[in-house]
Structure 1
Amino acid sequence: MPAPETDPASRAPLGRGTVRPLLICPDPVLRRICEPAGYLGPDALRALAADLLATLLAAGGLAISAPQIGVPRRLVLLLEAGEEGPLVLCDPELLAVRGAPVARAEQCLCWPGGEAAPVRVEDVSIGWYDAAGIHCRRDMAGAQARLVQQQIDILGGRFIGGF
């Protein structure tokens, strides 16, 4: 059975955000375990998500999390091919991992020119809250699964650069 879709409010336009500077490895904020984002409230969450989107688009990436712009909160933004807008993940968590772990080359916006090959699974189920506070769940595979795992690692103070 397919996972339920996110609440439409989580895909609503985020408004115009501000491009913020990306933290560069080995900034200590990237090593902090992030605080929950849900305590920020809907207006602050939407403003932070808008800044994440503006910064991500300016950097030309596919995913970004709040600590990468200096905010140690558990908020991730993913661009999805063919979707109306970005996917905003508030307090995401891995619910299940499936398949054999595979090492693949990855890059990160906060490690310009750097590359690592962390071991990750290629099929996951994740849970998160949308901007309206509704719990969502989705299965992800391939590159999207690896991206979300990378971002969740950053939220936990683990960075692929190994600094």
Structure 2
Amino acid sequence: MAVLPILITGDPVLHGSASSVTVFDDSLRELVADMVETMHAAPGVGLAAPQVGFPLRLFVFHWVDDSDTEFSGVAVNPELWVSPPPVGELDEDEESEGCLSVPGERYPLHRSELAILRAVDLDQNPFEIRAEGWLARIFQHEYDHLDGVLYVDRLEHVHAKTAAKVIRKAGWGTPGLSWTPGVDDLEG
């Protein structure tokens, strides 16, 4: 296993649609193991294949809720259904999220409270997870990556404007930029 470099916003693979996984082999298993190691090293609660340079429809996740229930796994070729997102004022404490491809930044974003994730695992076994709260948020965030959407692309105007300034000031937004957890002094 290896910790992989994480692409920073601006790289084309982050901003395009990923392709379905069609080959389930040892190379895919190795990629997923490397993604899990990278996610933990970052540290993060999810990581999509495009974030490490592979335009494939898969993501890994690991999250422990307030009751110490652990949710972890890999979602290959996922489909996601969500409830309507809330409207109204953002709660910056409860609705802020970050992204390993926009390292060190956090902005509030409305996400749907409920989500249903359907996917297959590495053995091509189908599964379904009904999620709410933060797990639903994680699924929406990672699923967006598979369609070339970063959470900063969904921010409301005032936060979008701030994020754009931060990205520009950091010199991001161009192809080829990355950081490696445990090597570079960045975190998301």
> Structure 1, residues 110-149: CA drift from partner, whole Å, max 9, x if none?
1012223333111111100111111111100110100110
TM-score between both structures, scaled by the size of structure 1: 0.81
Cα RMSD of the aligned pairs, angstroms, is 1.7
Residue 113 of structure 1 is aligned with which of 80, 97, 104? 104
Match of 1:88 in 2: 74
- Does 1:65 pair with 2:65? no
Greater relative CO, 1 or 2 (CA 8 Å, sep 6+):
2
Amino acid of the structure 2 residue aligned with 1:138: I
Secondary structure at 2:97's aligned position in 1?
coil
Check 1:99–1:55 CA distance in 2 against 1; reply closer, same or farther (3 A cut). Answer: same
Gaps of 5+ in 2: 154-172, 174-188
- Does 1:98 pair with 2:83? yes
2:126 and 2:52 map into 1 onto residues whose CA distance is: 25
Contact in 1 for aligned 2:85/2:110 (Cα 8 Å): no
2:10 and 2:152 map into 1 onto residues whose CA distance is: 9
Match of 2:141 in 1: 150
Contact in 2 for aligned 1:106/1:116 (Cα 8 Å): yes
Match of 1:43 in 2: 26
TM-score between both structures, scaled by the size of structure 2: 0.71
Percent identity reads: 33
Amino acid of the structure 2 residue aligned with 1:155: L
1:154 and 1:129 map into 2 onto residues whose CA distance is: 18
Residue 159 of structure 1 is aligned with which of 126, 150, 156? 150
> Structure 1, residues 85-110: CA drift from partner, whole Å, max 9, x if none?
8311101111x323542652210011
Greater C-alpha Rg: 2
